[in-house]
Amino acid sequence: MHRVCVTGAAGFVGHHLVRFLKQQGFWVRAVDYRPPEYDTPADECWWQCDLRFLPNAVAALAGVESVYALAADMGGMGFISQYHFEILMGNSRINQNTAFAAGAMGVKRLLYTSSACIYPENLQLETDVAGLTEADGWMGKPDTAYGVEKLMSEELYTRLAEMGKLKVRIARFHNIYGPEGAWTGGREKAPAALCRKVAEAKRNHNPNVEIWGDGEQTRTFCHIADCLAMLYGLMQSDYEKPLNIGTDRLVSINELVDIIAEAADVEIIKKHVAGPQGVRGRNADLSQMKRVLGYNPAITLEWGMGELYRWVEEQVYASN
């Protein structure tokens, strides 16, 4: 049986990926520095394996043929806009150790999950923006240290592949969302955070929902099921360059809140407050992804946000 290691397996995408890979028939080792909040069907679970330390990385990658390298210290804009040094330092060490271990332990294929945060800030200054193509990655400086580190690690794994050590695939995520992820505590991303705020407004019969900034900042959002299908397709492909993984439907944060409120069947009042907003607009050009993978994201934002809202609402009501 093909043996796979998933690092960052306690995270949102990671634990969904472990489940997905088991459904495809793989033997899976799940690795993280902490246990997950949700059940995992992994064959081996290493929940005290901090990849910032090289011996841990070497041990974790021993005896596996493929690696999905998801491990990272990350969160939503409220988190990555504050802890620049910690993110840059810790994530650099994780990926340097993972790259070394993959080469040393004879891993055959590795997929690194990068981010749309690598794209230059100067290409994302307007709300109505063209889709970012993979070639835009080196056209300027990213807006956060998180993006800088992701770009650096893309280069690290690319150079490792050039040495003939292993095959490398690079996925650039554009705002992946879905149930069973962070929804409170400071590391949650916009879809889950806004679902929580709407659920709390509904529960408390208080229609006010706080939104950071004017709410006109724009993004695209990709459901976890579509993400996993594209991720798996990329790993199996022969494509060696970075590839956007996401959707290309551009919506404002105000529009996203309206979609959530409709799913909640509640009327809300938007209260715009000061807070980190990230770039003004970010869109994904998926033309290369469609050529390489022959895939079209299938889950609509309305259906996906409805699913996420119902799950978050359950958590909100269960926590009080």
DSSP H helix total and E strand total for the chain: 10, 13
Tally Cβ neighbours within 10 Å of residue 246.
Answer: 28
Q: What integer pLDDT is reported at residue 77 of this predicted model?
A: 87
Residues 310, 264: Cα–Cα separation, whole Å: 8
Residue 90 main-chain phi, psi, to 5 deg: -65, -45
| Pairing mode, strands 109-115 and 167-173 | parallel
Say which CATH architecture domain 180-219+249-283+299-318 belongs to.
Alpha-Beta Complex (3.90)
Q: What integer pLDDT is reported at residue 165 of this predicted model?
A: 85
Domain boundaries, the chain: 3-176+221-245, 180-219+249-283+299-318
**Average pLDDT score over residue span 292-302:** 98
Residue 265 main-chain phi, psi, to 5 deg: 55, 50
Mean pLDDT of the chain: 96
**Average pLDDT score over residue span 18-41:** 96
Question: Does position 320 have pLDDT exceeding 80, yes or no?
Answer: no
Check if 146 is active-site.
Answer: yes
Single-letter residue type at 316:
V
Residue from 68, 112, 119, 146 carrying the catalytic annotation: 146
| pLDDT tens sequence across 196-207 | 999 999 999 999
Q: Is the C-alpha dihedral spanning 114, 28, 295, 256 positive or negative?
A: negative
Q: What integer pLDDT is reported at residue 1 of this predicted model?
A: 83
CATH topology (fold) of 3-176+221-245: Rossmann fold (3.40.50)
Q: What integer pLDDT is reported at residue 78 of this predicted model?
A: 87
Residues 176/222, Cβ–Cβ less than 8 Å? yes
Question: In this structure, what token pair is assigned to residue 67?
Answer: 């690696």
Fold match, 3-176+221-245 / 180-219+249-283+299-318: no
Residues 118/143, Cβ–Cβ less than 8 Å? no
Provide the whole-model pTM: 0.96
Q: Compute the C-alpha angle 39/43/46, nearest 5°.
A: 75
| pLDDT tens sequence across 227-284 | 999 999 999 999 999 999 999 999 999 999 999 999 999 999 999 999 988 999 999 9
Tally Cβ neighbours within 10 Å of residue 114.
Answer: 24
